[in-house]
Amino acid sequence: MFARGGYHGSRVGDIAEEAGIAHGLLYHYFESKEAVLHAVFRENWGELLGRFREVEVAEGPAGDKLAGIAKILLRTWRNDPALVTVMVREVARSPHLQEQVDEVGEAFAILQRVVEQGQAEGAVRRDLDPRLVSWIVYGGLEELLTGWALGQLPDGEEEVARAEQTAIEIALHGLSA
């Protein structure tokens, strides 16, 4: 419902109908429409972070880990575009995002640790601030998702694969010719 009608265009009754439950039953589990949106965020963001953590702790070079995280994040679009649309349009632009700062910050912390690993391996420049690199890399990936969610970028299988490759190439090798 949130993906099709947007947060403000979706009524609690619409959400209950889409879920195939009585309107009152929805209120048994959620105090408001906002609570439903928060639950969508928490459940799905938690799964995403779990997958990021698995990549982080796996054996292998930092470049492979960065590619793995990019693939996880960008492939969510191919696997569930409605979910990504909700996360991009509604959650990421929500005035209540501040409440999820710690959860969102964990993604940046994972990326930062992978960048630090890459610096230790000599694969990532040591003169760069790993915290800033993590924000820049994640920001670029999120903007690709935003472009797809808003219909501004082509999102076929080949385009998503090209986006993954381009993001990692830029993260690891920059724009220098």
pLDDT at 4: 83
Q: Give per-10-residue mean pLDDT for the chain (177 aa).
A: 82 86 85 83 88 97 94 87 79 61 84 96 93 93 90 92 92 83
pLDDT at 10: 83
Closest to 110 measured CA to CA, from 45, 162, 174: 45
Closest to 110 measured CA to CA, from 74, 66, 56: 56
pLDDT at 100: 64
Crossing angle, helix 157-173 and helix 62-79, to 10 degrees? 150
pLDDT at 90: 72
The CA distance from 152 to 41, in Å, is 24
The CA distance from 28 to 32, in Å, is 10
pLDDT at 159: 93
Task: Please give the domain boundaries of the chain with CATH numbers for all domains.
Answer: 34-173 (1.10.357.10)
Model-level pTM? 0.84
The CA distance from 114 to 102, in Å, is 19
Token pair in block for residue 173: 């090798």
The CA distance from 72 to 89, in Å, is 19
pLDDT at 94: 62
The C-alpha angle with vertex 132 and arms to 129 and 137, in degrees rounded to 5, equals 120
pLDDT at 130: 96
- b/e code 123-148 from CB counts within 10 Å (16+ = b): ebeeeeebeebbebbbeebbebbbbb
